Amino acid sequence: MERESIDFTNKTLARYNKEMLSIAGILCRIIYEDEMSRITKDYNEIIKPSIKSDDEDTKCVRERLEKLERQAARVLDHFTFKPSMQNLSIGREIESRFFNCKWRERDLTILSTKGVTEISKVRFPDPEMKGFIKNVPVVPNIILEQCNVFFKKSTNPIKKMTNQDVLYELKNRNLCENEMIEFLKWWNKYNFRLATSEKAQLMQFATIHTCDESRPLTLNSFVYFLNPGIIPPDVDLPPEVLPYNISKNLQHQDLKRCFGWSELPLVSWARFIADHPDLEVSSKFAEKVFQILERNFQNTSQPNKETICQLFSQKKCIPTKFGMKFEMKFPHETYFHYVNLFSDLPIIQFQKPSSVQNVMELLGVRKVVELQIIFDRLVEQRDCDHMQLAKYLALELKNLKEDEIMKLKTTPIWPKENSVDPESSTRRFIISDLYTPTPINREFGMPILYWKRWSRYTLEGRFVVVGSVMYSIFSTCLTFIYIYIYFFVGKFLIYLSLHD
């Protein structure tokens, strides 16, 4: 049968000739599918094992895959029907049967990014989805560029990517950090096209697997994103915080508007970190936590400050130097670094104590030694110099309460100077019962405060004078009496010497 003499006029011959052309189309399809089966075999033997072993991006595999794609492109180009005679219906009949017949109950197959796949399941590549779409079969770029005519002629045209394809991808695998970034950028750009139900599905099925988490997390498990200006990204964070490596690639307003997340509040982070096991073990960890709280102290509301105080005041989270021993203490058990009255006090031990000053005050770290501790040590005669004590109390006078000052005046903690009874040196007296160690007080045999080098003009001397009620009244009177006696006795002796 010659091409130019194919009869479509006679009804019987026309039917016969069309069936013959259909057979030609079916034969072409059989040959085409045989070529695709060979490509499938090569793909399964060479490419697929490399993909499973995460070796897809190596240069060798990439070259093999490109070679296979070029081979598939040649097959598609070879089976792209082109007009070769005046009667175009002949070619159309063969072409129609080629595309429409079912080969083993399958549609026409082509090589995609997931191997040889039915054309109805393949999608055109979308540059904005390329970063996170891996499981949805996509037309390789080489085939797309060289076989565009073939796809136009197909009676089952390839479709563009849809939201359903995105959902299919999310349901079938977890995303890494870079893929999640690309996915969120796509969502942010096309947020206005997404229905509320679609957004809920995306939140439900989009999962991320990071090296820090033992199990993948869905997007709807996140509540907060991190503001590095408040909390640095190199500290432990609650699991409901979106990883900073992801959130830093989007604007904060977009994270709020598109995804409904909010900025992680400092007090929420404090609740999480207060239960961290390292807080009561590692001094470096504790110092870093307190430095973060200190940095945001001025911008923290009073209710939040109270919450922070409640969280940490019941934790042994303050690193201290207890004599030569280092250990963690409750805040109320510790003292600031400048409290040096006793050598064995638990002093806060930070590399930069000034960097946590406000937080330490909030938690109740002590600025002065409790008077009861001082009294107990004085009574026990243990590691307590009353002269050093007076100097210390004089420096901390502004931090003492009125009842504490009154207790100092009425408690027998001061030693008396004694040259007769050695045993009496261990006794303690009220400050108002003793007199300052001046020559005139000694001459009159008054009970003298024991002091090695007395000077009422030193800081501790002024403190003792203020505490001693009798000094200002009695000692002044004694001075005037002494001057009076000295003057008149002197005059009387001079008078006697002149009249002798």
Q: What is the pLDDT of residues 196-241, one digit of tens each?
A: 999 999 999 999 987 666 678 999 999 999 999 999 999 999 999 9
* Any domain includes 136: yes
C-alpha 451/C-alpha 390 separation (Å) is 11
* pLDDT score, position 270: 96
**CA neighbours closer than 13 Å in the CB half-sphere of residue 369:** 25
Closest to 70 measured CA to CA, from 144, 150, 142: 142
* Any domain includes 35: yes
Q: Which two tokens stand for residue 417?
A: 């100077």
Q: Structure pTM?
A: 0.72
Q: How many domains does the chain have?
A: 2
* Any domain includes 32: yes
CB atoms inside a 10 Å sphere around CB 84: 9
User: What residue numbers bound the domain in which 8 lies?
Assistant: 1-161
Among 161, 186, 217, the domain-final residue is 161
Among 125, 145, 161, the domain-final residue is 161
* Any domain includes 83: yes
Q: Which two tokens stand for residue 261?
A: 């997340």
Q: Which two tokens stand for residue 106?
A: 């399958």
CB atoms inside a 10 Å sphere around CB 329: 21
* Any domain includes 141: yes
* Any domain includes 284: no
C-alpha 268/C-alpha 262 separation (Å) is 12
* pLDDT score, position 474: 46
* pLDDT score, position 497: 64
Residues with Cβ within 8 Å of residue 241, at least 6 apart in sequence:
222, 223, 224, 225, 226, 264
C-alpha 445/C-alpha 441 separation (Å) is 6
> What amino acid is encoded at 315 in this protein?
K
Please give the C-alpha separations between residue 140 and each of 111, 115, 126, 147, in angstroms, as whole numbers: 8, 10, 11, 11
* pLDDT score, position 324: 52
Collect the ranges in the chain with pLDDT lower than 70: 1-5, 7-9, 50-58, 84-87, 211-214, 322-325, 378-385, 419-426, 465-500
* pLDDT score, position 423: 46
Closest to 206 measured CA to CA, from 233, 236, 179: 179
Among 161, 178, 206, the domain-final residue is 161
* Any domain includes 216: no
